[in-house]
A and B are shown apart, each in its own frame.
Chain A
Amino acid sequence: DAKTTQPPSMDCAEGRAANLPCNHSTISGNEYVYWYRQIHSQGPQYIIHGLKNNETNEMASLIITEDRKSSTLILPHATLRDTAVYYCNVSPPGAVYGGATNKLIFGTGTLLAVQP
């Protein structure tokens, strides 16, 4: 199973961009990078995922390096409500492998504290 490494905590000023890094140097060719966040005591919330191209949605942008060994999640204008633990995961596409299970492997994540 591919492992991910994230800094344990980061601070960001409200209104500024938050850039959260993740290292996934053992990622396999068909594994996707997924980002989730978890606000205290709630279930993880899906943010974004990608394979090799950069992705953007209404919540965030995902930048994946060309060698796919690391990625950065960007929250363009952080608000206090973005304070949460952010998890980076790699997951095989079960549909591609037929019976493979696309289990998410969570580390301890990055606690992002947005400061007023």
Chain B
Amino acid sequence: ETGVTQSPTHLIKTRGQQVTLRCSSQSGHNTVSWYQQALGQGPQFIFQYYREEENGRGNFPPRFSGLQFPNYSSELNVNALELDDSALYLCASSPYKGETQYFGPGTRLLVL
């Protein structure tokens, strides 16, 4: 059974650019959640997708957007990057909304 995978592993962008991060959920999972983890902090919930629809959002501005595809993989898009967007971005999948979330290894984004 393949676990949650994320790409790329590392990324460097400059302020004002746009970035797309990708996540493949664990086999059989239809719910994906995204989290942002700043250095030295715990992960913060960005949003969750269930069967291609947003199912809840944390306190993040609209320039953070997402998609979930029919195969339940997901993308996180961030527009107009700011220096404070530098963080580890984590994707977690679960068999169904409300069930245990399993995390991928994360994508480390550095904004210069």
Where the two chains meet, the residues of A that have a C-beta atom closer than 8 Å to any C-beta of B are 34, 36, 41-46, 49, 87, 92-97, 99-109
| Other-chain residue from B45, B88, B98, B106 in contact with A94 (beta carbon distance below 8 A) | B98
A96 interface neighbour in B98, B102, B108, Cβ under 8 Å: B98
Interface pair A94/B42, CB less than 8 Å apart: no
- Picked from B35, B40, B41, B98, the residue with its CB within 8 Å of the CB of A102 is B98
Known contacts A43-B103, A44-B103, A45-B103; decide if A95 and B98 are in contact (CB<8 Å). Answer: yes
Given contacts A94-B97, A106-B42, 6 further A-B contacts (CB under 8 A): A44-B103, A45-B103, A46-B103, A103-B45, A106-B43, A108-B41
Residues of B within 8 A of A102 (CB): 48, 94, 97-99, 101
Are B42 and A109 neighbours in the complex by a CB distance under 8 Å? yes
Q: For chain B, residues 84 to 112, give those with C-beta under 8 angstroms from any C-beta of chain A.
A: 88, 90, 92, 94, 96-106, 108
User: What is the size category of the interface that chain B forms with chain A?
Assistant: 20 to 34
A41 contact set on B, CB distance < 8 A: 88, 106, 108
Of listed B40, B43, B48, residue having the most chain A CB within 10 A: B43
> Does B8 lie at the interface of the complex (its beta carbon under 8 Å from any beta carbon of A)?
no
Q: Is the CB of A108 within 8 A of B42?
A: yes
Q: For residue A42, which residue of chain B has the nearest CB? A: B105
- With contacts A43-B90, A44-B90, A108-B41 taken as known, whether A99 is within 8 angstroms of B55 at the C-beta atoms is yes
- Given A43-B103, A45-B103, A94-B97; A103-B41 close (CB under 8 Å): no
